[in-house]
Structure 1
Amino acid sequence: MDIYVLDSTAQILDMIDNFESIIWTVQYFNVGEFELIVPVTEKNIALLQKDRLLCRDKDRNGDIWRNVMIIENVKTVADYENGDSMTISGRGLKSIVGRRVVWQQTNLAGNVETGIRQVLTENIIAPADEKRKIDNFILDEPAGITDTFDTQLLGEDLDEWIMSTCQTYGLGWDVYIKDRKFVFILYKGCDRSYGQKDNLPVVFSDEFDNLLASTYTYERAEFKNAALVAGEGEGVNQRTTTVGDSGGLERYEAYIDGSSVSSNGTIITEEQYYKMLQDYAKDELSTTSFTESFEGNVIPDGNYNLNEDYFLGDVVQVINEYGISATPRIVEIIESEDENGKSTVPTFSTWEV
């Protein structure tokens, strides 16, 4: 494997073809990360500097570069016995979105994709203050996402807000390079489980001899699924609403302070205000939900090939050695390579049992 090194304008500087190990983690909801260990050489010291961009040769297609990473940390270790080495690490190119916050109060009502594109335009692409603009950052064509929301923003880190929003609606996002421009895209993975008929199923199981190891985890420390939400006002005049339809023993209630959600006087309607209050509460409840995940170590060159038969964000069929079958989404793919060989570890999460 060769690794291209680009400058901050996406101009090719050189390539790395000699390394001790590499871990490349791409994520559907989050920004991803990497770690690269290389020998200490004059070339590597000069080349692998902070803010440089890295891309594997397998992720390049002409002028399109995907799964790009940014160097954020450089560590040099002098070791007489094992040899000197440099550890280079950082996060995905997507993380540049997090260099901006929502600069002014913004009310979003309607299509989720339209709202995200608006926030990016106002805070990165064409902000009122030219100093806030990121040159060469553009939007891809709309993906046709149909989900809707009502929300209010001020001061949020853009990457954290986008990650939270995408997780709520099951969307993936990325920033890739095309013609030396940074291109933002939203997308939704395909359903490749047994429960659909449009795509060939992708199954990871002992029976198919493509699941080397698996770990199932369920955590529910402070689970809440219903809430009383308090908005503007005080005492008997305080605006309140509720979210959550579960009942009986299946109902876990919380109180959420939504006083930060503002009606801006008469700028928005009463209906819009309560919808924003409910969406705020749903976002808060999402931080107290249970975690159910399935991590599997699959055979890289087995009966399915990554980025040919299945992709990050797809829903697949997983059957563990105990016969438990589920249709989780692939939310993360960790690819590693060192002297011991190659490994591909997808993280399957959000079970639909």
Structure 2
Amino acid sequence: MQLEIYNLIAEKNRISVSLEAICDSYSSLLWDIEFYQCGCFEVYIAASPQNVSIFQRGRIVARSDDAQHFGIIESLQLETDAEKGDYLTVTGRFLACLLERRIIYPTITANGSYEDIVRKVLSRNVISAGIRNIPGLSMGTVNGMCWQGKTRLQVSYDNLMEWLYTICETIGGSANIRMDGNTLKCDLFEGTDRSILQSENPHIVFSDSYNNLLSFSYAADSSVQKNFAYVFGCGEGNTRKRTTYCNGTEPTYLDRYEVYVDKRDLSQDDDVSDAEYLELLKESGAENMISPQTASESTIAAFSTQYQYNKDYFVGDYVTVEQRRFGLIQPRIQLIGMVESFDQNGRSLTPTFKETE
């Protein structure tokens, strides 16, 4: 597997991309793909004048076997040592980090599908925004029913990347920016259910019984849970707009974990009715719901003959994890991150899982 280093030059509303070098002699590579946040990478390579000239900030690092994820170099660290040798550490994030350079401005009030709202926000801030454009960026493919759900929301001055991934986590989808020739495409998608609780797709089961679960740790914490929100909007005193929100049946007694949400900055324009404004408040309440936290860390077999990463399953998919020795079975758990590591010891996979309701 080779690394490809590209030079990216922005020219008004377009980009120019040229291949600068191909590298296959690095000491180690970390390739961290995340579903609900921007992923990152790290290249550790022997320092030489040639490598220092190749790995420059702002350049693109790609893998010859990955057409979806492209990293942009953000940080370089050169260390020289007479005994251990000279090494260069190259780090950065994937191209979605470009959205972090913009805030959402001015205020946008939108009503419709999540896909339409994301399109509107991106158009006004990075695609059809004059000098605020990210050159070469346009909408790519949209897959997944989660993006067709309807909502109404108002957003202003939020960091664009953080806002987008908040939406993703709220609805269970994800976003990624990939390089497609001399263009950048922003794709919206969702994971596939491959757990034992469904029958449409082949099951993916990581288990000590199958010898594909090499290590496993599990922790649960309900202290941070929030499942019922009191949401207060604009106004003062008794005239202040307010509502409540919960997902599904209203929790009661010891099952009720309340949170106060202050949305005083959520304005009500003349064209927004009271009912529509309350829906905006409810959306804010939904964003503040917190499920009981679980921490499940594992190391899975990188060269399993049963399942191959990025062929049989992908980050974002729902799978099953079992530790039968201790009777712990997570029948439907989402793979929300995967650190793929290459070094002198070979290739390893370290997944991150998140339980779903």
Regarding TM over 0.5, the answer is yes
Alpha-carbon separation, structure 1, partners of 2:25 and 2:62? 14
In the TM superposition, structure 1's runs of 4+ consecutive aligned residues that sit over 6 Å from their partners are: none
* 1:108 match: secondary structure: strand
Among 314, 318, 324, the residue aligned to 1:315? 318
Determine the structure 1 residue equivalent to 2:243. Answer: 241
Percent of aligned pairs with the same residue? 28
Q: Post-superposition shift, 1:95?
A: 0.7
Alpha-carbon separation, structure 1, partners of 2:295 and 2:124? 36
Determine the structure 1 residue equivalent to 2:171. Answer: 169
**In the alignment, residue 159 of structure 1 is paired with which amino acid?**
M
**In the alignment, residue 267 of structure 2 is paired with which amino acid?**
S
Alpha-carbon separation, structure 1, partners of 2:339 and 2:113? 32
Among 40, 47, 56, the residue aligned to 1:40? 47
User: Would you say the 8 A contact 1:30–1:163 is kept in 2?
Assistant: yes
Structure 2 unpaired stretches of 5+: 9-15
User: Would you say the 8 A contact 1:10–1:177 is kept in 2?
Assistant: no
User: Are residue 58 (structure 1) and residue 58 (structure 2) matched?
Assistant: no
Alignment root-mean-square deviation, CA: 1.4
Cα separation, partners in 2 of 1:195 and 1:285, compared to 1, 3 Å: closer
Listed one character per residue, the Cα deviations across residues 38-91 of structure 1 (whole Å, up to 9, x for unaligned) are 1111111101010111011111xxxxx321111100000011111010011111
Q: Post-superposition shift, 1:284?
A: 2.7
User: Are residue 339 (structure 1) and residue 333 (structure 2) matched?
Assistant: no
Q: Aligned ranges for residues 87-236 of structure 1 at < 5 Å?
A: 87-127=89-129, 130-143=130-143, 145-236=147-238
User: Are residue 76 (structure 1) and residue 78 (structure 2) matched?
Assistant: yes
TM, length-normalised to structure 2 = 0.92
Listed one character per residue, the Cα deviations across residues 191-233 of structure 1 (whole Å, up to 9, x for unaligned) are 0011111101011001111010012132344322212221111
Alpha-carbon separation, structure 2, partners of 1:13 and 1:217? 46
Determine the structure 2 residue equivalent to 1:62. Answer: none
User: Would you say the 8 A contact 2:141–2:186 is kept in 1?
Assistant: no
Count of equivalent residues:
342
Alpha-carbon separation, structure 2, partners of 1:293 and 1:111? 32
User: Are residue 282 (structure 1) and residue 289 (structure 2) matched?
Assistant: no
Alpha-carbon separation, structure 2, partners of 1:272 and 1:150? 8
User: Would you say the 8 A contact 1:175–1:183 is kept in 2?
Assistant: yes
Alpha-carbon separation, structure 2, partners of 1:2 and 1:141? 27
Alpha-carbon separation, structure 2, partners of 1:135 and 1:72? 18
Q: Post-superposition shift, 1:311?
A: 0.9
* 2:286 match: secondary structure: helix
